[in-house]
Copies of this chain bind each other. A is one copy, B any other.
Amino acid sequence: MIVYISRQEHFNAAHKLYNPDWSEEKNQEVFGPCANANWHGHNFDLIVTVKGTPDPDTGFVVDLKKLSLLIREKVIDELDHKNINLDVPFMQGKMASTENLIVEIWKILEEALPSITDTGRLHALKLYETPRNFVEYFGE
């Protein structure tokens, strides 16, 4: 009996899409206003889904308070009110796209999750850049 449980957290960050190997013209052509030299930003929403069998004593797949704290300590504190291109160690040398960001967040949470659950496993991440643009990643 596998139940999937999810927690949504959010962060506000600046970024730009800019490939330093390309000319300014090519960056403008490919990324348009997303390449604005002085950055732009978003309210990001991150949904973390853990799968597992509910514990008979607690009824929990994972304690959502612990999951919320873990996401905040490991991910939100690294990204909230930051510049994704300049301030975030795990994004250095990578294009600051939501696709790349969600893969890096997966690595962090997959490693950290065993500290709060014996049996729950990271199943999915969903990352909203805007209410109309979002990415999902399942670790493979």
List A residues at the B interface (Cβ < 8 Å).
1-10, 12-15, 17, 19, 21-22, 30-34, 36, 38-43, 49, 54, 56-61, 63-65, 80-83, 86-87, 94-100, 102-103, 130-138, 140
Does B65 lie within 8 Å of A32, measured CB to CB? yes
Q: Which of B9, B41, B95 contacts A12 (CB 8 A)?
A: B41
Which 4 A-B pairs have CB atoms at the shortest separation, nearest pair first?
Answer: A41-B41, A59-B97, A59-B95, A33-B81
Closest Cβ of chain B to A125, distance in Å, is 10
Does A59 lie within 8 Å of B13, measured CB to CB? no
Does A97 lie within 8 Å of B39, measured CB to CB? no
Does B130 lie within 8 Å of A99, measured CB to CB? no
Closest Cβ of chain B to A32, distance in Å, is 7
Does B135 lie within 8 Å of A38, measured CB to CB? no
Does A64 lie within 8 Å of B17, measured CB to CB? no
Copies of this polypeptide in the complex = 6
Q: How far is the CA of A135 from the CA of B5 in the complex (A)?
A: 4
Does B134 lie within 8 Å of A61, measured CB to CB? no
Q: How far is the CA of A54 from the CA of B100 in the complex (A)?
A: 7
Residues of B within 8 A of A61 (CB): 99, 135
Residues of B within 8 A of A6 (CB): 133-136
Given known contacts A38-B82, A41-B40, A59-B94, is B13 in contact with A99 (CB within 8 Å)?
Answer: no
